[in-house]
Structure 1
Amino acid sequence: MTFIQFFEKPGCINGEKQKNILIEAGNDLECINILEHPWSREELAPFITEKEPSLIMNHTAPAIKKGEIVPENLQHDEAVTLMIENPILIKRPLIRVDGMSIQGFTDERLTPYLGAWDGKDDVITCPNLRSISCDERK
């Protein structure tokens, strides 16, 4: 059994699917609310270092969907500041396991922790994109 810290937005449909995959594979999860966690640059950095803002930001966040924030127009430091101020902007999940800090669920470093999951089910694309995403619900 491997201990995993799983930073999530509670109630996220895909987050629930991702957690179930990790749990079914025999991992022990500590689930942490990404929106309430007191983020700092130092803590966020290992998840997002050397990645462009368009790759580290949550494109279903209301401000991004409305065009108020355009990740492609931001410098990395600007994106980090915005994500710390408003964690809904952080692409989820963030996962800490065996000394690694991983952002997203498609990173190949997660493979040893996924058990029998074959990757055929889409646990990434928000099923609510056609209407109101979970990030827009109050």
Structure 2
Amino acid sequence: MATVDFYEKPGCIGNAKQKALLQTAGHIVRTHNLLTEAWTPEQLRPFFGTLPVSQWFNPTAPPIKAGAVHPEQVSVDQALALMVKQPILIRRPLLRVKDCYAVGFDLSAVDAWIGLAPSSDLTQDVETCPSNL
């Protein structure tokens, strides 16, 4: 079993489901508030790996929904600077296990990475905010 640093938006229903899936699988989950963490670009960058910059963003963040930020039009450096200033822009959750990092909660990817309980329904949607369905 793994010890998972889990960066969430407190009160997020999706993040609560994601943490429950990790705990059911026997993982130790250390929860951190994504919005109050003192981020630097160097700390954030590893979470995004080789994903396109547009996939680093939370599409339901108010600045994106209002059209103030266009994730497909920003560079790596611009994205990181925006996220340091406005952590609500960061796609959730951020996950770290030792020196391995991930963003989002793709069930199949998390299962392949650290494992989920055999009874886990890997077809459910635990990334989309229920209020946006």
TM-score (norm 1): 0.87
Q: 4+ residue stretches of structure 1 with deviation over 6 A?
A: none
Can you give the 5+ residue segments of structure 1 that lack an aligned partner in the other structure?
A: 131-138
| Structural RMSD (CA) | 1.5
Q: Distance in 1 between matches of 2:107 and 2:23?
A: 18
Return the match for 1:113 from 104, 115, 123: 115
Q: Distance in 2 between matches of 1:93 and 1:58?
A: 10
Kindly report which structure 2 residues correspond to 1:1-138, keeping only aligned pairs within 5 A, or say none: 1-106=1-106, 108-111=108-111, 112-116=114-118, 117-129=120-132
Give the partner amino acid of 1:83.
Answer: M
Checking the alignment, whether the CA contact within 8 Å between 2:107 and 2:122 is kept in structure 1 is no
Give the partner amino acid of 1:123.
Answer: V
How far is 1:113 from its partner? 2.7
Q: Paired residues, what number?
A: 130
Give the partner amino acid of 1:115.
Answer: A
Can you give the 5+ residue segments of structure 2 that lack an aligned partner in the other structure?
A: none
Identical aligned pairs, as a percentage?
Answer: 41
**SS of equivalent to 1:113:** coil
How far is 1:46 from its partner? 0.7
Compare 71-80 and 46-55 and name the one that shifted more.
46-55
